[in-house]
């Protein structure tokens, strides 16, 4: 990490705060992409935690049902036995792939978070010192310094509480939701994972296409990565729904 620290200190100015954000940010973006483009993808939310493994792939049921020319909901004892074998094989492969993807994401995420610290002066560093995830730290810095004055706390509350998932890409909605949340936290609001999850569920509950996602949503809020998994699964679920059932304009 010493070489990385030297690279950062030589190639880009240290972020002091609002006074040099406008000059620091474009150079930070340029150098980040040169050092490791994945870091920038993490900061802007394009590279997120992988989707959690689905324990019962529908493809297994469909494959066995088609082979025996029966309904997926009416598998015979023999067909069900084949389904269990196929499901176990698919599950083993999926778990292995998911573990590999998750390990890779956690490694890059931790590196990106450490890298960001090298580009911060004391005051900005203290602002994000206890912010674990790289993107959350980046968004908090943006909320603090990108604008001359932060939004009034009442306005920040209103923006976050009134956000609703409507006709917008799921990734864009998640980005808006997290950005509004960071605006609150940047002003000293301490919101637990339980509150974040509850508000996110409320924000998407009015969309009919989210009913299945919400019904099958299980999240341990004691896990520090809980909301990253929720956001990733939500984006994947909505993209899949759009492919199967295109939205009406």
- Name the pLDDT band for 10 (thresholds 50, 70, 90): low
pLDDT tens digits, residue range 101-153? 888 889 999 999 999 998 999 999 999 999 889 999 999 998 888 864 455 67
Overall average pLDDT of the 24-52 stretch:
86
Does the structure show a pLDDT above 70 at 8?
Answer: no
Higher pLDDT, 208 or 244: 208
Does the structure show a pLDDT above 70 at 88?
Answer: no
How far, in Å, CA of 175 to CA of 186, rounded? 16
Does the structure show a pLDDT above 70 at 100?
Answer: yes
pLDDT tens digits, residue range 199-226? 999 999 988 889 889 988 888 888 888 8
21: which 2 tokens? 């954000």
Rounded to an integer, what is the distance from CA 229 to the centroid of its chain? 7
Overall average pLDDT of the 34-49 stretch:
88
Contacts of 107 (CB under 8 A, 6+ apart): none
- pLDDT given for residue 93 in this prediction: 63
- pLDDT given for residue 243 in this prediction: 45
Boundaries of every domain in the chain = 150-249
The string of DSSP codes covering 58-117 is HHHHHHHHHHHTS-TTS--HHHHHHHHHHHHHHHHHHHHHHHHHHHHHHHHHHHHHHHHH
- pLDDT given for residue 248 in this prediction: 41
């Amino acid at each position: 990490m010493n070489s990385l620290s030297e690279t950062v200190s030589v190639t880009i100015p240290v972020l002091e705060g609002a006074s040099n954000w406008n000059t620091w940010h474009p150079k930070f973006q340029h150098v980040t992409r040169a050092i490791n483009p994945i870091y920038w993808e993490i900061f802007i939310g394009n590279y997120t935690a992988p989707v959690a493994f689905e324990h019962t792939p529908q493809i297994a049921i469909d494959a066995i049902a088609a082979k025996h020319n029966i309904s997926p909901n009416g598998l015979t004892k023999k067909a069900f036995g084949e389904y269990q074998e196929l499901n176990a094989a698919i599950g083993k492969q999926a778990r292995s792939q998911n573990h590999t993807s998750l390990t890779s994401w956690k490694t890059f995420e931790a590196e990106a978070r450490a890298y960001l610290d090298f580009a911060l002066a004391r005051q900005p560093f203290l602002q994000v010192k206890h912010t674990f995830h790289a993107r959350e730290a980046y968004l908090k810095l943006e909320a603090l310094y990108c604008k001359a004055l932060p939004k009034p706390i009442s306005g920040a509350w209103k923006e976050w509480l009134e956000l609703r998932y409507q006709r917008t890409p799921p990734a864009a909605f998640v980005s808006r939701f997290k950005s509004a949340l960071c605006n609150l936290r940047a002003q000293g609001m301490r919101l637990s994972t339980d509150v974040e999850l509850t508000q996110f569920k409320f924000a998407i509950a009015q969309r009919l296409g989210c009913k299945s996602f919400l019904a099958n949503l299980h999240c341990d809020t004691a896990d520090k990565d809980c909301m990253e998994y929720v956001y990733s699964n939500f984006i994947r679920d909505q993209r899949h729904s759009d492919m199967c059932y295109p939205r009406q304009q």
